[in-house]
Amino acid sequence: GDSVTQMEGPVTLSEEAFLTINCTYTATGYPSLFWYVQYPGEGLQLLLKATKADDKGSNKGFEATYRKETTSFHLEKGSVQVSDSAVYFCALSDWNRDDKIIFGKGTRLHILP
Amino acid sequence: NAGVTQTPKFQVLKTGQSMTLQCAQDMNHEYMSWYRQDPGMGLRLIHYSVGAGITDQGEVPNGYNVSRSTTEDFPLRLLSAAPSQTSVYFCASSYSNSAPLYNEQFFGPGTRLTVL
pLDDT of A111 strictly over 90: yes
Taking only the tens place, the pLDDT of each residue in A46-85 is 999 998 899 999 999 999 999 999 999 999 999 999 999 9
On whether any CB of chain B is under 8 Å from the CB of A88, the answer is: no
Structure confidence at residue B101 (pLDDT): 63
Pairing of strands B64-66, A86-93: unpaired
B95 band by pLDDT with thresholds 50, 70 and 90: confident
Sheet containing strand A62-65, strands side by side: A19-21, A75-77, A62-65, A56-59
Which residues face A76 on adjacent strands? A20, A63
The answer to whether residues A87 and A37 touch, using CB atoms and an 8 Å cutoff, is: yes
Choose the closest CB to A106 out of B42, B48, B92: B42
- Considering only CB atoms, A100 lies closest to which of B58, B108, B109, namely B58
Whether A43 and B90 lie within 8 Å, measured CB to CB: yes
**A93/B103 Cβ within 8 A:** yes
Give the Cα separation of B53 and B16 in Å (integer).
28
| Residue A103 at interface with chain B, using a CB cutoff of 8 Å | yes
3-class secondary structure, A16? coil
